[in-house]
Structure formats: C-alpha cells, structure tokens
C-alpha cells in the first residue's frame, strides 16, 4: 500500500493519535471515555478514527494480542513470487483470514506476511492452503525470541 503523499491533520487529530498510542480504556464505553479526556464525544472519536483510516493516515486501529497466551500461534512467512503473478498471488494470500499483514519487499523473497491462527496446528494448515492456492512454497520463520519495543510517534 502506498502511503499518502501529503497528510493534513488538525490539532484534534494529532491529540487523538498521540493519546491512543499509550493505551485504550477497558470499560463499557471506551470511545466516550477517550472523548471525555480530550473534550470530544464518543461519536466524534469514532468519526475521526474512521476518517483517519479512510484517508490512510492510519492503516489499522485495534488491539495487539500475544496470541500464544490464549492458545494460538503466529509466524512470519514469505514467498518468492514471479513479478508477473504478484497481484494475483497477493489477492489469494490476502483472501485468507489467517493472514494478518502482507508486505512487498525488494528481496528474492518478495512477499512477506504474518499468519495468525487459533491453534499452533493451524499454521501448517494455513501454509498448506497458501501453497495450494498459489502453487508456490511458503517459507515460514517461527519466532525464536520475543522483544518488546514500545514505539510511539508524536503526530
């Protein structure tokens, strides 16, 4: 996905983006709670987030889970995709609900994606589906260690 060339954010968008990088309230009305802290209504928070997503200022808004702690699994995987087939293969890979992210890279392995499944056995099944749909071998790179890097960007 190509990033926006020019992004225009008003002061409220900037405050909202900065505030949401540090956590999200776990309560009955979290958008209202965020809004109250920022002088907005919950509906305005939702509308602004949707506008930021629609304009591709944000590519995603949602929780990050440590899937292994709830019985699931994830793995970084890659494909070596012939350039002429790239868009078709990307569509096939992205059609699977197990694919969390998919990125093009300038590398022999030019398509990299994350597979997330409800069980560890689901990884093998997802890889098999991708190989069957694309005719290409999937190279899986399981996590050996995990590092926490908290990255917050001031909007």
Domains of the chain in start order, with CATH, are 11-54 (no CATH), 67-141 (3.30.70.920)
Q: What's the pLDDT at 47?
A: 97
> Residue written as tokens 């900037």?
14
- pTM for this predicted structure: 0.63
**Interior/surface letters 46-63, b for 16+ CB within 10 angstroms, e for the rest:** eebbeebeeeebbeeeee
pLDDT category of residue 75 using cuts at 50, 70 and 90: very high
Tokens for 147? 């590092």
More confident residue, 148 or 70: 70
- Residues 142 and 68: their CA atoms lie apart, in Å, by 12
Given a cut of 60, whether residue 3 has pLDDT beyond it is no
Tokens for 59? 């590519």
Q: What is the mean pLDDT of residues 44-54?
A: 95
């Amino acid at each position: 996905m190509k990033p926006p060339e020019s992004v225009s954010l008003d002061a409220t968008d900037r405050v909202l983006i900065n505030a949401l990088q540090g956590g999200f309230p776990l309560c009955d009305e979290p958008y209202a709670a965020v809004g109250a802290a920022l002088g907005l209504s919950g509906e305005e928070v939702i509308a602004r987030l949707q506008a930021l997503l629609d304009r591709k200022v944000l590519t995603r808004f949602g929780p990050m889970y440590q899937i292994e702690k709830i019985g699931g699994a994830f793995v970084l995987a890659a494909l070596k995709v012939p350039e002429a087939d790239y868009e078709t293969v990307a569509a096939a890979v992205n059609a699977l609900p197990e694919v969390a992210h998919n990125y093009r890279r300038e590398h022999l392995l030019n398509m990299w994606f994350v597979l997330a499944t409800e069980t560890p056995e689901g990884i093998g099944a997802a890889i098999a589906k991708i190989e069957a749909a694309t005719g290409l071998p999937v190279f899986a790179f399981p996590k050996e260690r995990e590092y926490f890097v908290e990255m917050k960007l001031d909007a």
